[in-house]
Amino acid sequence: MTNLKHKTLLSLIYSAGLRIGEATNIKIKDIDSKRMLIHIKNAKGKKDRYTLLSSSFLELLRDYYKTYKPENYLFEGHNKQQYSSSSAQKILKNAAKKIGLKKRITLHTLRHSFATHLLENGTDIRYIQELLGHNSPKTTMIYTHVSETTIRKIKNPFDNI
């Protein structure tokens, strides 16, 4: 992607496992670079939570901030208003089209990918549940499509007998 704002927005959604509404609601003060956390306020179910702030993403975010100088919301559209979800969806659709991606992708796909990649890297499902803001681990399991490769790496306990 060549547009810095678009790249930063999509990177945020993936790197923090956010819903689109959560990403567009983030304010500058919600980014805690000292603790490397992002405070998600008033998420689904009117709950607050913290999620991860990637150090790689933080570099991109700093470039974005210097260039766009947002005043209130991290991502602002016309007249410094909150960026719209539909604009974000168009960004992803255009990016997918540009690279010739045939598979249907949505912004929520990025959230699914975040959860799946954490699980594949060995993160406990309870931590993923917390990062995604789910009440039930059953909800989290929907997001974690475990790959065959990961399943094949599991050592069967019978082999230790």
Q: Report, as residue numbers or ranges, the catalytic residues.
A: 19, 44, 108, 111, 134, 143
Identify the sign of the CA torsion 3, 12, 24, 29. Answer: negative
How wide is the angle at C-alpha 105 spanned by C-alphas 99 and 108, nearest 5°? 135
State how far the Cα of 129 lies from the Cα of 137, in Å rounded to an integer: 6
Question: Residue 69 corresponds to which tokens in the numbers above?
Answer: 């100088």
Question: Residue 35 corresponds to which tokens in the numbers above?
Answer: 């603790």
User: What is the layout of strands, in order, in the sheet containing 37-40?
Assistant: 31-32, 37-40, 49-52
Q: Please, what is the end-to-end C-alpha distance for the chain in angstroms?
A: 52
Helix pair angle (85-98, 107-120), 10° resolution: 70
